[in-house]
Structure 1
C-alpha cells in the first residue's frame, strides 16, 4: 500500500493518525494545515483526505466532520509508520524501583500496577506458563476439623488452602503426610506429583495408613496449581472509563469487562504475543473482543532462563492509544521482567 501513496499523502496520513491518537476525535483539514506549518492548505489536505478515503484508510463519522482512521488505516499506521519514542530516565527508575519484590507473585502484581499507572490503561500480565516444581509442602493443624496446606514452588509462588480433616485424625498423620510428600514430590510439577500419587495408590505402593492418605487426597487431589491455570493479573480497569465520551460507549465497556472476566478471547491474543517476538499490537481487525469495545492491546512476552518464554505483559486501552509512547513502555517493562525473572531463578 505504501507504494501506491506519494510522500505527501503519507505525511498527511501520519500526522492525522498521530493527532487522532492524542485526542480520540475526528481530525480536520485546518488543524492538519496548522500542524504542518501551513505548508499545505486546508483545501489541498481535504483533497488528500479524499484520496485516503478511497484507499480505505480514513472515514468520516459525520457529514462535515473531520476524518478518523479506519481499522485498516490504524493497522497500516502501527505496522509501517509508527515512530516510537524512548522512556525517560525517571520512568525507567520508577519501573525498576517499583518492581524490587521478593516473590514472583508480588513482582508480577507490582509490574502490572506500575505499567497501568504509567500508561493510564489497564495493565495485565499472564503469569508463567511453565509449571514451576514444588519446593516444599506442609500441613499445619488449625483445629480438630481443619488444617492449612502450604505449597511453596521453586518460582517463589506460595499457595495455601484450608482442608477438612477426618474425624479423630491424630497430629502424627499430618506429620507423616508432610514427610511423605516432601520426600516424594519435591522437584516435581503439580501434574507430575498428582500422577505419581495416583500410580502409587493404584498399585498400593504408598507406605501410608488410610488416614494419612485421606489427608493427602484432600490437600492435593483437586489442586491444579497456581501456574497451570494461566493466572491473569489485571490492574487499573477504571482507566478505560476515563476515555468514555458518549453514553453508548458505556455498554461496550461493560461487555468488554464481562469478556475480560471469562478470559477466553484474551488468552488467544496473549498466546499469539507469546509466540511472536517483541511488542505486538492487537486491535479490532484482530479480535472480536476489541472490535466490540473499540479497544486495543499492546503486549510483549517476557522470558526466564535460557530465553524460555514464561508469559506476557501489556496494556489494554482505547483504540486511539498513544502508541508511540506506550510501545516503548511495554517493551522496557517486558525486558525488565525477563531480567528479574532470570535473577530470581539463579538465586534459587
Structure 2
C-alpha cells in the first residue's frame, strides 16, 4: 500500500535513471518492463537484483505497479505525470514535418472547416492516434455573403467573415429559381449583415421577411430564409471534428485495452461531453497534457489527451486541437506536433 509519494527531484540518480528508462521502454512497447531488460540499458552496470530493489521502492512510492505477480513493472498514471513534468525531453519537428503541416493547412484556402479537417487528419496520421479539433462557432462579423447556383434546387452560400475566413453551406432552394433571385437575396443580406454577426441580424431579418417589409419577391424571400436556416441548424457552441479513430485499434495489445478503446469511442461519440475539452485550455498557455483520471472525459478509457489552444487574429482563444491515445502515447514526439499545428492554424486565421 502506498503511504506517500516522493517528488521525482528527491529520487537519487540511480532511481531516476531506472524510472526514466522503464517509462521510455513502456512508451515504445506498451509491455511490462523487467529488471533484466533494464540492466542492459543502464549507463552504470547494475545487476537485475539491484534493479528489482529499486523498482520495488518506486512501486512503494506509487510510480510503478505490477500487472501480475511474475510480470515486470508499468508506470502508474501518477508515474507518467511525474515523468512528463520532470523527465520528458520534448523532441523537435524536422523541416519536412513543418512544411507538410503548413502545406496541408494552406491547401484548404481560407475555408476554416477545410483547414481544420486537413489539420486533424494530418495530426492523426503523424501521431498514429485519434486527432480531434474544436472548431469555433462562427460569430465574427460578416464581411460578405453570396448565393451561387449549383443546379436544380441547390445553391451554395459563401460567407466571408471580417477576419477573412470563408465558410460554405449547400442549401436547398425552390427548383427553377432564377439567377436574379439569388442575386437579389445576396444584395439583401449584404445590406443588412454588414459589420454584424448572423446571430445579431437573424431575428431582425426574419421579422422583416414575415412582415413583408423586405420588398423581396417570393422566390428571393425563400432563398434568404433557406440561407439563414442553414446556419441556424448549427448546434450552439463549438463543433467537433475527430479523425483517425482506427489508429487506436492498432495499439490494442490485450482484451483489457480493447475495452478501453471501445469506451473511448463511446466518449468521442458523445459530442457534448468532448466539447468541454475547450474549457480545459481556455486561459492556459501552450500544450496541455492530461493523463488518465486527470481528465474526467477519458477516465474510463484510460487514455491520455494532448491538446493546445489556437487563437484568432485578436489573440482570443477560439478553439483547440490535439490527439487522444493510450497512456503510452509518444509524448516526446506528439507534444511538438500539437504545438506547431495549433500555431499554424492561429497564424492562418490571422
Report the TM-score, using the length of structure 2 for normalisation: 0.85
- RMSD across aligned positions (CA): 2.8
Q: What is the distance in 2 between the residues matched to 1:78 and 1:23?
A: 18
Task: Report the counterpart of residue 20 of structure 2 in structure 1.
Answer: 14
Task: Report the counterpart of residue 184 of structure 1 in structure 2.
Answer: 192
Task: Report the counterpart of residue 168 of structure 2 in structure 1.
Answer: 159
Q: Is residue 274–residue 300 contact of structure 1 (8 Å, CA) maintained in 2? A: no
Q: Give, in angstroms, the shift of residue 21 of structure 1.
A: 1.0
2:254 is the alignment partner of 1:243: no
Task: Report the counterpart of residue 3 of structure 2 in structure 1.
Answer: none
Q: Which runs of 5+ in 1 are unaligned?
A: 343-348
Task: Report the counterpart of residue 141 of structure 2 in structure 1.
Answer: 133
Q: What is the distance in 1 between the residues matched to 2:105 and 2:220?
A: 41
Task: Report the counterpart of residue 324 of structure 2 in structure 1.
Answer: 316
Q: What is the distance in 2 between the residues matched to 1:297 and 1:291?
A: 11
Q: What is the distance in 2 between the residues matched to 1:92 and 1:171?
A: 44
Task: Report the counterpart of residue 279 of structure 1 in structure 2.
Answer: 287
Counterpart pick for 2:94 among 88, 95, 99: 88
Counterpart pick for 1:121 among 117, 121, 129: 129
Task: Report the counterpart of residue 47 of structure 2 in structure 1.
Answer: 41
Task: Report the counterpart of residue 346 of structure 1 in structure 2.
Answer: none
CA shift in 2, pair 1:188/1:225, >3 Å: farther
2:224 is the alignment partner of 1:224: no
Higher alpha-carbon deviation: 90-99 or 234-243 = 90-99
Q: Is residue 173–residue 222 contact of structure 2 (8 Å, CA) maintained in 1? A: no
Q: What is the distance in 1 between the residues matched to 2:182 and 2:214?
A: 15
Write out per-residue CA displacement over residues 241-293 of structure 1, whole angstroms, 9 at most, x where no aligned residue. Answer: 11011234333322322321222332222331243110011121123442222
- Residue 205 of structure 2 aligns to a residue whose secondary structure is helix
The number of equivalent residue pairs is: 339
Q: What is the distance in 2 between the residues matched to 1:341 and 1:171?
A: 32
Q: Is residue 171–residue 226 contact of structure 2 (8 Å, CA) maintained in 1? A: no
CA shift in 2, pair 1:222/1:141, >3 Å: closer
Task: Report the counterpart of residue 306 of structure 1 in structure 2.
Answer: 314
Q: Give, in angstroms, the shift of residue 221 of structure 1.
A: 3.5
Task: Report the counterpart of residue 261 of structure 1 in structure 2.
Answer: 269
Q: What is the distance in 2 between the residues matched to 1:180 and 1:118?
A: 46
CA shift in 2, pair 1:185/1:139, >3 Å: farther
- Residue 296 of structure 1 aligns to a residue whose secondary structure is strand
- Residue 292 of structure 1 aligns to a residue whose secondary structure is coil
Q: Give, in angstroms, the shift of residue 199 of structure 1.
A: 5.2
Report the TM-score, using the length of structure 1 for normalisation: 0.86
2:113 is the alignment partner of 1:109: no
